[in-house]
Chains A and B, each alone.
Chain A
């Protein structure tokens, strides 16, 4: 008998993404000359079922720049495993040429230079063109949205998610799961979910009071596609009430609940499902662990940790697909399902090069309609930058360096804290910074910038706590996201140690003195999960700071010393 592995037809990154025409030096080939839409979309339709996966769009309707992380460390069994491989190691692992379109799309090196050649990425009108092309090959392809869609921009904030719902509705998804959507507050989430013409799924979305499945969210939905009964099971972000403010959605409880996931898989199989797909917002390492514990899942479409992988990762008999973030990628997964089981899989991670893929004018119009009422606000230029501004990285990124500088300066603090979120586009050196750009990296429903006093001991406790969310060896104890970003203070972290022993050598940068556990420091931060937090909105703090700077210039941040990487 031929094993499933033999049927796996995964294209190697470089060749599958851009054909075999051998793209060389970025400097010789401008994006539009070297890449064509046909190359990006080229795919020999396979099997009888197609899945289209988008996830973690974070409100990004328009083309953007997005730099992938340099530092993305795995611990325990995940150490050195995908997706914890970056830069040259990542390119080597997938046979990607330096300076190629794939290198620009999936790694961080030479980002500013490559961005000038290859241009912006994303834009939901371009995403629509890709979806339409796949639907032309396979009209009944399933479009699945992994969540973190109704959050992350000026217009999304002002319309409480309506802009994203309107645009996504026009793309006609078949199902969705959730995370940041809940930070709109449960009343608004319920209202939007009730309006959706497609399925809102989450087997782990429970009623907090009774610890029973929440009525509004179904665990799964059946689809008949290509003569095959496909069951899509939803998995919302497990740690919403911990990572985000619980008081905003007190009626709901989440958790991984893999025993219930197993029960749901068994249930859909007993109802005749020939193919089981999990639409997940677990994060990649959690999905890997879940795939090893729950049997009977064919494909996990993975979201939350914003990883973009050119090949699925196989765990036992389950294939895990990671499709990036911020509208930068679409994954196409074709499945061959016969005799009641999945026999083969073909996959392509499609980077959305905005200058190469033609926008779908229908969706361009829908997007313009959402933005028009706010055009003046969005486009106002606040300043410009000489430094590449990006966010991704385990310990810091220049956007958060700038935000921490703004907090220290505008709020007269010793130390600043910025949450380790992974959303938010990049700005190239020489670019203007508009109000929209600032909101793209700060917009949220709990963005007030607090100012408070903390002892050195308590700051240490916070760093240890967040560090364990990232570097606990058991993925089920990780919440995703990155380390809280610290301004005004340096520290040393040994990622191999247990909680309580990772953080040392905390130093107040302005004096060079060690942080005294007993002493009190003024700390400014934002994105508190506590109800009743007071202070100005973070986007106003950052805007004021950038206005005063005129042109942003940042020094490299060397204040975190990482050990055990």
Chain B
């Protein structure tokens, strides 16, 4: 049975009905990654993604990313219907390679950030953001 938004509100335990299982990364996310990296290998490195562990409001989740020396950084909400959130390009005169924005999440999922470094290599990091019904804090 499908839950309507009204059902979710009526239960009295939460503002959203999105908290089911963690959503899986979609094929669209794979495509978005491939479009950015051109299929190149993505490693780990000096890239920091700051996101809340549990979203206070899944409709507007603050995230920020920093990757010193990056030329561009993309942020993907891997299980959103449209995973691409933002692409930040940094010019040579940029004082820092950091950016902040707010994103909407369709449910509990990984938020992924990939940076393209000056030498053309790619590094990534991810953070699981939980979107929950909430309501029972002690």
Contacts and interface: CB of A to CB of B under 8 A. Distances in A.
A241 B26 CA distance: 29
Contacts of B3: 455, 457-458
A529 B134 contact: yes
B133 interface: yes
Interface string B1-42: 101000101111111000111100000000000000000000
Contacts of A523: 11
B9 A530 contact: yes
A478 to B, nearest CB: 9
Given A253-B56, A476-B53, A243 B136 contact: yes
A481 B135 CA distance: 10
B13 A242 contact: no
A529 B20 contact: no
A255 B52 contact: yes
A481 B137 contact: yes
B50 interface: yes
B37 to A, nearest CB: 27
B132 interface: yes
Contacts of B12: 450, 452, 525, 528-530, 533
A224 to B, nearest CB: 34
A469 B14 contact: no
Nearest to B8: A458
Contacts of A239: 54, 56, 134, 137
Nearest to A242: B134
A419 B133 CA distance: 13
Nearest to A240: B137
Given A461-B19, A533-B12, A246 B135 contact: no
Contact of A465 (B1, B10, B15, B19): B19
Interface stretch (A130-138, A339-347, A420-428, A549-557): A420-428
Given A211-B62, A452-B12, A421 B52 contact: no
A484 interface: yes
B53 A529 contact: no
Contacts of A272: none
Contact of B136 (A240, A306, A421, A518): A421
B53 A306 contact: no
A556 B18 CA distance: 35
Contacts of A457: 1, 3
A48 interface: no
A527 interface: yes
A477 B130 contact: yes
A276 to B, nearest CB: 22
Contact of A237 (B1, B57, B137): B137
B50 A246 contact: no
B126 to A, nearest CB: 14
A462 B14 CA distance: 9
B138 interface: yes
A289 to B, nearest CB: 10
Interface in A73-128: none
A144 B56 CA distance: 28
A518 B10 CA distance: 17
Interface string A449-467: 0101111011001101110
B15 A244 contact: no
Interface in A465-483: 465-466, 468-469, 474, 476-477, 479-482
Contacts of B138: 243, 304-306, 420-423, 480-482
A515 to B, nearest CB: 13
Most buried by B among A304, A457, A499: A499
A465 B137 CA distance: 13
A419 B56 contact: no
B51 to A, nearest CB: 9
Interface string A439-453: 000000000001011
Interface in B45-78: 50, 52-57, 62
A243 B135 CA distance: 4
A243 B134 contact: yes
A244 B57 CA distance: 13
Q: Considering residues B7, B12, B128, which has the most beta carbons from chain A within 10 angstroms of its beta carbon?
A: B12
Contacts of B14: 465, 529-530
A528 B56 contact: no
Contacts of B21: 499-500
A242 B56 contact: yes
A68 to B, nearest CB: 14
B16 to A, nearest CB: 10
Interface in A171-219: 179, 208, 211
A458 B17 CA distance: 9
A499 B54 CA distance: 14
Interface of A: 179, 208, 211, 237, 239-244, 246, 253-256, 259, 304-306, 417, 419-423, 450, 452-455, 457-458, 461-462, 464-466, 468-469, 474, 476-477, 479-482, 484, 499-500, 517-518, 523, 525, 527-530, 533
- The 5 A-B pairs of least Cβ separation, nearest first, read A243-B137, A528-B12, A481-B138, A242-B134, A422-B138
Given A246-B57, A253-B62, A465-B133, 15 more contacts: A237-B137, A242-B55, A243-B134, A243-B135, A243-B136, A246-B15, A450-B10, A461-B133, A465-B134, A480-B137, A480-B138, A481-B138, A499-B21, A529-B134, A530-B14
11 contacts: A211-B62, A243-B134, A255-B56, A417-B13, A457-B1, A462-B133, A465-B134, A484-B136, A500-B20, A518-B1, A530-B15
